[in-house]
Structure 1
Amino acid sequence: MIQDNRAEVRRVLLITLLLNIVVMILKALVGWTTGSLSLQADALHSFTDGANNVLGLVTNRLSSPEPDRDHPYGHQKYEAIGALGIAAFLGIACFEILTSAIERIITGIKEVRITSTELWVLLIVLGINIFVAFYERSVGRRLGSRILIADASHTMSDIWVTITVLVGLVGIWQAQIWELPQLLWLDVILAFPVAFLVFRSAWKVLTDNLPWLVDHMAIAPESIHYIVTQVPGVINCHAIASRGVIGRQVFIEMHLIVDVKDVETAHEITEAVERELEKKFAPVRVLIHVEPPDYRYDAISF
């Protein structure tokens, strides 16, 4: 059975969009007042969080699982396309962080001024990021939403970025107290691991969603063969193909050799096969080509 969870996905995206806007504003304000490059880069990263939510809302409107005349297999791949958009945003953010850090190394270090109040603000921001990441990931896994899981991955990287930046700013804060100007380089140095974490997040989103777009095998044919051949009346099955994402939507095709002569009984066997596959891999759409018991073909590999 086709499941349409777009309304709940849309509600989650709206909540996280509002929280990400708050996070972005707070980071940008603190980054601007302190002159911290790593925090400004982190604010840019958070801007992509908000942009991702907007992108997710757009693709959510388009990604109906219900088929129509022009899209007989549904529209769910729009979610995967949206997730690839997230990867693109992350790649841009990584490039901007690296160029800013290299430029500051060339032009020279700039003074960064930080207070305990600003550090407390960043701790609040960190708490919001943690809530958003775990909230999106739990709902995304429950609904099988690629866009929520991808966005949660992005936000999870934002948590580590914020922790890294916060550690560096604490060091700079202590440098002001101890009068150690060498520690001011922490701000520029930490921009590089921030860029690496952003790139790593982009790569994970990319590798998670490309298989869905290029119709990578969803289920090993051996697993399908084992389940199907347990159904009474089935002699063998071959030409097994599957695509999609388990828990989201899976499409299975196969040729089925049945030990019956009449069409009605063969139909009952195919329905039993569909029920077993639905029980294991739901939601699933199965296309079965029935063949007689004496059928022989060289391509049968089981």
Structure 2
Amino acid sequence: MLTDRRAKVRQVLILTLILNLLVMVLKAGVGFLTGSLSLQADALHSTTDSANNILGLIANRFSSPEPDREHPYGHQKFEALGALGIAVFLGITCFEILKGASERILHGGKPATISGWELTILLLVLAINIFVALYERQVGRQLESPILIADAKHTTSDIWVTIMVLGGLVGLWLGRLWNLPQMQWLDTILAIPVALLVFHSGWEVLQDNIPWLVDKVAIAPESISETVMSVPGVLNCHDIASRGLLGRQVFIEMHLIVDAEDVETAHQITEAVEEQLLKFYSPARISIHVEPPDYQSDRLSF
């Protein structure tokens, strides 16, 4: 039986939206005060965190697990679409970061400066990011929510970005104290690996959600066959297909050859097959085409 967890997912998204907005404001404020390119890019990254939360709330609104007349297979792919939207935001962020870094390298610009109290604010920002990532990942796994897990990955990338930027700004601060002007390049140079981390995070989100959207096989047909053949009265199963997300919802189809001469016996065997499959792959919707004992086929799947 499917469970509608959208209310809990919505609560998490609202809380993380508030925290991400706070992080974005703090990073942007310190970034403009110090003139730090890498921190301004990091603030842009955090802007996408907030946008992702809003996108997640929209996707959550339409991702009911229950089918209806217009969507007989349910609405859960809306969450996967929301996760792909996150990947798009990450790609845009990556481009903006690289663009800003290349312009600074080619045309130069005013060097960044940083003070001790501004570094303290960034440490607070880092602590908030760590909390959001751990909280979203934990709840996302408990609720089996792709949108929360995808957003947690994005926020995790934000943690590493903030650590990297913070390290560069500490280098700037020490360079000013020790009169080392060459340390001013740290801010611009670190903007490039920031972009690479953002790109990697978006790639992981794509890898997690595209197979679901394109109906990649959810369960190996050999595994389904082994489960089905353990049921008494089953002679053969073939043309096996599956799609969906194992642990969330899968759809299983197959043709079944049963040792039965009447419809009632064939139905009983089919019911037993469904119970056995649900024991291993629930929640699942199963469609079985029953064939007579003299029918033959050795085609396991498509």
2:76 aligned partner, one-letter code: Q
Q: Does 1:122 align with 2:116?
A: no
Q: What's the counterpart of residue 86 of structure 1?
A: 86
The answer to whether the Cα contact below 8 Å between 2:221 and 2:300 also exists between their aligned partners in 1 is no
Aligned to 1:143: 143
TM-score when normalising by structure 2: 0.97
CA RMSD of aligned residues (A): 1.1
2-structure distance, mates of 1:149, 1:226? 32
135 and 202 in structure 1: CA distance in 2 versus 1, 3 angstrom threshold: same
Q: What SS does the aligned partner of 1:43 have?
A: helix
Moved more, 185-194 or 139-148: 139-148
SS in 1 for 2:287: strand
Cα-to-partner distance string for 1:43-94 (whole Å, 9 max, x where unaligned) = 0000000000000000100111111111100111111111111011001100
The separation in 2 between residues aligned to 1:280 and 1:134, in whole angstroms, is 30
Q: Could you tell me how far 1:110 is from its partner in structure 2? A: 2.0
Could you tell me which residue of structure 1 aligns to residue 253 of structure 2?
Answer: 253
1:235 CA displacement: 1.4
CA distance in 2, matches of 1:127, 1:298: 58
Per-residue CA deviations over 1:216-272 (Å, capped at 9, x if unaligned) read: 111100010011111111111110000011111100000111112222222222222
* CA–CA separation in structure 2 for the residues paired with 1:233 and 1:218: 26
The number of residues matched between the two structures is 301
Deviations 1:93-118 (A, max 9, x none): 00110111111112214221111111
1:197 is paired with a residue whose SS is: helix
Residue 184 of structure 1 aligns to which amino acid in structure 2?
Q
Distance 1:261 1:129 in 2: 64
Give the secondary structure class of the aligned counterpart of 1:257: strand
Q: Deviations over 1:168-198 (max 9, x none)?
A: 0110110110011100100000000000000
AA aligned to 2:110 is: K
Tell me which residue corresponds to 1:132.
132
Aligned-partner residue type, residue 119 of structure 2: L
Give the letter for the 1:232 counterpart.
P
SS in 1 for 2:285: strand
CA distance in 2 between partners of 1:203 and 1:229 (Å): 39
> Do structure 1's residue 13 and structure 2's residue 30 form an aligned pair?
no
Alpha-carbon distance in 2 for matches of 1:91, 1:45: 10
Q: Using the alignment, how far apart are the partners of 2:298 and 2:288 within structure 1?
A: 19
Percent of residue pairs bearing the same amino acid type:
69
Gaps of 5+ in 2: none
Shift of 1:299: 3.1
For residues 247 and 300 of structure 2, what CA distance do their matches in structure 1 show? 29
Match of 2:95 in 1: 95
User: How far is the alpha carbon of 1:297 from its aligned partner?
Assistant: 2.9
Question: 1:23 — aligned with what?
Answer: 23
2:170 paired with 1:175? no
Structure 1 distance, partners of 2:126, 2:269, is 56
Determine if contact 1:109/1:184 at 8 Å carries over to the other structure. no
Distance 1:282 1:40 in 2: 46
Instruction: State the match for 1:212 in structure 2.
Output: 212
Offset at residue 300 of structure 1 (A): 5.0
Mapped to 1, the partners of 2:271 and 2:61 lie a distance apart of 33
In structure 2, give the amino acid aligned to 1:50.
S
* TM-score, structure 1 as length reference: 0.97
* CA distance in 2 between partners of 1:297 and 1:222 (Å): 15
Measure, in 2, the Cα distance between the counterparts of 1:115 and 1:34. 8
**1:40 is matched with which residue?**
40
Distance across 2 between alignment mates of 1:270 and 1:125 = 57
Amino acid in structure 1 at the alignment position of 2:167 = V
Q: Is the 8 A contact 2:27 2:43 kept in 1?
A: yes
CA distance in 1 between partners of 2:80 and 2:40 (Å): 29
The 1-side partners of 2:29 and 2:300 are apart by 65
State the partner residue of 1:242: 242
Question: What amino acid is the match of 2:53?
Answer: N
3-state SS, counterpart of residue 29 of structure 2? helix
Distance 2:300 2:228 in 1: 15
**Runs of 5+ in structure 1 lacking a partner?**
none
